[in-house]
Amino acid sequence: MRYLLKARNTMKEVWWIERSPKTHDQLKEMGALNSLNIFLRQEIDRMQRVIKLVKITLKDLLLAIEGIIIMNENLREAFDAIYDAKVPMVWKRGSWESASLGFWYTELIMRNKQFVKWCFKGRPTAFWMTGFFNPQGFLTAMKQEVARAHKGWALDAVYLDNKVTKHFTQVISAGPKEGVYVYGLYLDGCSWDKKQDRLVESVPKVIYTEMPMIHIFAINTNEPRPKDMYTCPVYKKPRRTDLNFITPLWLPCKFSFEHWILRGVGLLCDIK
């Protein structure tokens, strides 16, 4: 009971973006037809549904515990899951997977914080790609933005490219001229040499290595990559399935790409 009351009270800090009447006007001022702003609007709509679902569930659970309403099967499952520090199935269906309720709730606050900052303080210098429901849509919107900035570029002839920077989010004061900076990615199966900017063997007893920010942009060519570049798949979660696959990125390496394929090297947005 005490935990449910605390959870409902803390929901107030993620509630104001939905209640604010300025949200839609702010998106229009930023540019209603801009592809990344359209993506932001879609992400905010999905986040609002998650927040609303969490608030309704917590409210109904408190009423059911007090005996005011009947505790149905969904409420009972949610109550048992919260007691076991797991994400209730009714929340998980409309949101994202997480190892525990604590991780899930922390991610909810961080996701909402990124959307609030983007909506009311302008476009971020770097994006936390883990915090998007549809990261593939984010990269497609970026490609559309770059294609529209270049006369004669067709979207179906534009391809993703990337470059690993030496910076982390704390030291970036401005975004790139084209494309986006993304952060929060982790290497699985190897490590990253910050001095030589390339893949190296894993450090003993270290499973994941945080990557510096990556500059992802679009180019109007599909030429073969150099042989010293490893085509690294990016996944949303540690469970590597087609549903969690986002896109390939190209990372410099010392050995052949077969060497890193045998080690199962990949980039993960979330390691929890």
Give the percent of the chain with pLDDT over 70: 87
| CA pair distance 78, 76, nearest whole angstrom | 5
pTM, to two decimals: 0.89
Q: Do the beta carbons of residue 53 and residue 94 sit within 8 Å? A: yes
Q: Nearest-CA neighbor of 237 among 263, 208, 257?
A: 208
| Inter-residue contact 184 to 269 (CB < 8 Å) | yes
- pLDDT tens by residue, 117-161: 998 888 999 999 999 999 999 999 999 999 999 988 988 889 999
The C-alpha atoms of residue 211 and residue 192 are separated, in whole angstroms, by 7
- Sequence ranges of the domains in the chain: 2-123, 135-268
What sign does the CA torsion over 75, 76, 81, 83 have? Answer: positive
Reduced to 3 states (helix: H, G, I; strand: E, B; else coil), residue 67 is coil
Q: Same CATH topology for 2-123 and 135-268? A: no
Q: What is the separation, in whole angstroms, between the first and last Cα of the chain? A: 27
Enumerate residues 6+ apart whose C-beta is below 8 A from 191: 199, 200, 201, 202, 203, 206, 209
pLDDT tens per residue, range 157-208: 899 999 999 887 767 888 899 999 999 999 999 999 999 999 999 999 999 9
Residue 53 Cα distances to 50, 106, 171, 177, 240, angstroms: 5, 16, 37, 39, 28
Mean pLDDT computed over every residue of the chain: 88
For the stretch 186-195, pLDDT in tens is: 999 999 999 9
Which of residues 151 and 29 earns the better pLDDT score?
Answer: 151
- The DSSP secondary structure of 249-269, one letter per residue, reads EEEEBSS-HHHHHHTT-EEES
CA pair distance 173, 77, nearest whole angstrom: 46
Assign domain 2-123 to its CATH architecture.
Up-down Bundle (1.20)
CATH 3.40.50.2020 fits 135-268, yes or no: no
Of the listed ranges 21-30, 67-76, 100-109, the least confidently predicted one is: 21-30
> Residues 6 or more apart from 121 whose CB is under 8 A from it?
none
d(CA 30, CA 210): 32
